[in-house]
Amino acid sequence: MQGLKLLLTDLVIDFNYFVLFYFLVLNTIYLLLFLVSLREIWYFVRRTFFSDYQQIMQSEMTWPISVLVPAHNEEKTIVQTVRSLQMVNFGEFEVIVVNDGSTDGTLERVVEAFEMRRIDHVYRRSIPTAPVRGTYASLEHPNLLIVDKEKGGKSDALNAGINVSRFPLFCSVDADSIIEDNALLRVVKPFMEHPEETVAVGGIVRIVNGCEVREGRVNKVALPRSGLAVFQVVEYLRAFLTGRVGWSVLRSLLIISGAFGLYRRREVIEIGGYERSTDTEDLELVVRLHEHMRRKRRPYRIVFVPDPVCWTEAPATLKVLQRQRNRWHRGLLQSLWRHKTMLFNPRYGILGLVAMPYFFLFEMLGPFVEVVGYAAVLLSWFLGILNPGFFLLFLAVAILYGVFLSLAAILLEEISFRRYSSWEDLFRLLLFGVLENFGYRQMLALFKVRSFYDFLRGSRKWGKMDRTGFPERKRKEPVIERERARVVEEK
């Protein structure tokens, strides 16, 4: 018994040292990413001081875009999403809604709202997909197309959309999302700046809960009332403004959010389109693009631009949040396992030597280490080797560092885009940036640990996302705008 206790004590002490080292390395990486992001965002804000988007819109040299909207049971939001897409500022684009075997009124809603009619579409089936039941077009909206197909999952729907799309670039947009008017102009810019090399560009995803939406447009930005959603706002700011900006600068961006990403069609077809056997098709696609381009030794760029905004609905309940995070983490596990040969592989440069190991050791195993760490504390206490002073100080450092990272993301938001303009929203962001370290983060870690189990079990549950739809309100025209309009009219 004494021997076992000694062994356990040694193990726990060793593990504690490991956690200390792990914590130091992880936070150093976070700090470096923040610094890289700070510099990049500062530079980006200066660079985009002049908005030349009018030129992109008017130029015939701008590549046209096919916007793909995979939809499965999205009857609450689909019409508004399509309407907002129809209104975006861009020269030449088409919107392709792919109805992926919905069992609600998704198809009927769009057909009715946009006076769609069935057509016998002609296209090349470059990527195999589940059978297409029909395509619909509209005389009133010539750039809108619906593909109605049997259920095959989001990847399959996107592949069907790619098959039907006509243009060299395609943009994937979630059916529960709204992209801002200039989002396409902003996201296409890297393709125009480096036309030969750019293969994919991601934009920032923000949370629409709490915002005022009018006719498919986000009219007023505000934080949601629900605490759970505010936690997610802080989390998204951290993930996008520090994480993705930083990895993009290092040319190692591993994920472009499925809610909003722009890709060159040719390369995506070359790799066989979206992979259907993973739970996070967006991550898998980007990793495969990296792998493909490196293998072919073709110069390429996969970048993140923090400016083009896509608004999406965040889970409003713990149950839905759990499903979402479980799927995300399961997808990460699947992709990292599938591409394990890229790990520590110098052939993939920084991607193979830094980004992949980071995602493997910290993003994938991090929650596991965290949860085991909590267990180790209990065990240490049980074994009588817990140094309460040291433990509390370490906990304080960990929490303060977590708070620092959240505040750093809020700082980045404040020096750049400042979407949340009211004092109340800022105070709430700061408050939730602190509070998330007391329960929310630990809860997410547990969700992710649970996903290990589901991954090993081979579970492929997508999980139902309950939609509430976008809240709508009317707006008054400001007096000064009317006065200005009058002067212009008189001229």
Partner 1 sequence: MNEKILLIVVGAVGLVVISLTFSILLMKSWRQGRITRQRRKRRAIEPGLLRYLGSREGALERFIPMPVEGSLRAAVVELLLEHTSILKGEAMERITSALEQLGMVREEIGRLRSGSAWRRAAAAERLGLARSPLAVEPLAKRLEDPDEEVRLRAGRALGQIRGTLAVRPLIAALSEPSRWSTMRVAEILSNMGSEAEEELIRSYPDLAPKARVAALDILGRLRRPGSASFIEQRLRDEDPDVRARAAHALGQIGDPTAYRSLLEAMQDPEWPVRAMAAKALGRLRVPDSAPALALRLRDRQWWVRSNSAQALIELGETGTRTLLDVLDSPDIYARHQAVLMLQQTGLVDRYVDQLCRADEEATLARRVVSRIAEMGRVDRLEELSRVHRFESVRETLAGILRKAAPASGARA
Contact positions vs partner 1 (CB under 8 A): 46, 49-50, 52, 55-56, 58-62, 117-124, 134-135, 137, 139, 142, 166, 189, 191-195, 387, 389-390, 393-394, 396-397, 400-401, 403-404, 407-408, 410-411, 414-415, 418, 423, 426, 430, 480, 483-484, 487-488, 490-491
Instruction: Of 442, 464, 461, 441, give the one whose Cα is nearest residue 451.
Output: 461
- Residue 189 or 448: the one with the smaller Cβ distance to partner 1 is 189
**Concatenated DSSP letters for 64-114?**
PEEEEEEESS-TTTHHHHHHHHHTS--SSEEEEEEEES-SSSHHHHHHHHT
- Residue 105 or 134: the one with the smaller Cβ distance to partner 1 is 134
Please report which helix (H) or strand (E) contains residue 172, including its range.
strand 169-173
Q: How far is the CB of 333 from partner 1 (least distance, A)?
A: 31
Euclidean distance between CA atoms 487 and 482, whole angstroms: 9
Distances (CA, A) of 147 to 162, 299, 416: 11, 34, 39
- Residue 23 or 362: the one with the smaller Cβ distance to partner 1 is 23
Q: How far is the CB of 191 from partner 1 (least distance, A)?
A: 8
- Residue 47 or 296: the one with the smaller Cβ distance to partner 1 is 47
Q: How far is the CB of 491 from partner 1 (least distance, A)?
A: 6
Q: How far is the CB of 162 from partner 1 (least distance, A)?
A: 14
The residues, any chain, with a CB within 8 Å of residue 50's CB and separated by 6 or more, are: none
Token pair belonging to 131: 């059978």
- Residue 194 or 450: the one with the smaller Cβ distance to partner 1 is 194
**Exposure b/e, 191-225, CB count within 10 A at least 16 = b:** beeeeebbbbbbbbbbbbbbbbbeebbbeebbbbe
- Residue 353 or 398: the one with the smaller Cβ distance to partner 1 is 398
Q: How far is the CB of 105 from partner 1 (least distance, A)?
A: 17
- Residue 56 or 316: the one with the smaller Cβ distance to partner 1 is 56
Q: How far is the CB of 314 from partner 1 (least distance, A)?
A: 23
Euclidean distance between CA atoms 37 and 33, whole angstroms: 6
Q: How far is the CB of 158 from partner 1 (least distance, A)?
A: 20
Q: With contact defined as beta carbons under 8 Å apart, do 203 and 310 qualify?
A: yes
72 conformational bin, left if phi > 0, alpha if psi -120 to 50, beta if neither = beta
